[in-house]
Amino acid sequence: MASHNKSEYYSAEQEQMARFAKALGHPVRIAILQLLNTQSCCYHGDMAEELPIAKSTLSQHLNELKDAGLIQGTITPPSVKYCIHKENWKLAKKLLGALLT
């Protein structure tokens, strides 16, 4: 049986949609995005005060959202400031909106 690369079966759009959906697959990440979507940017420490989770757990969720391209971070030691990645946010809304209509 021949092995196939998954990219032979799925379009780049489908792959991107799945990546966004995976990143959205946890309620803490949804809460983070909702928080960030209401303001231009937010510091990690401020989010830790808003969300009922440990800072280390928050960092893991922020990394997942960042890896998916939904948020971006600016490191200004000793703090990190996060905000919505506007271009990818628009793309996620477009792709997921098309799927859910």
Per-residue pLDDT reduced to its tens digit, 43-72: 888 898 889 899 899 999 999 999 999 999
Q: What topology is assigned to 21-99 in CATH?
A: Arc Repressor Mutant, subunit A (1.10.10)
Q: What is the DSSP letter of 55?
A: H
Return the domain boundaries, the chain: 21-99
State how far the Cα of 69 lies from the Cα of 16, in Å rounded to an integer. 10
pTM over 0.95: no
pLDDT bucket at 8, cuts 50 / 70 / 90 = confident
According to the model, what pLDDT value does residue 1 have?
47
Candidates 38, 100, 43; CA nearest to 76 is 43
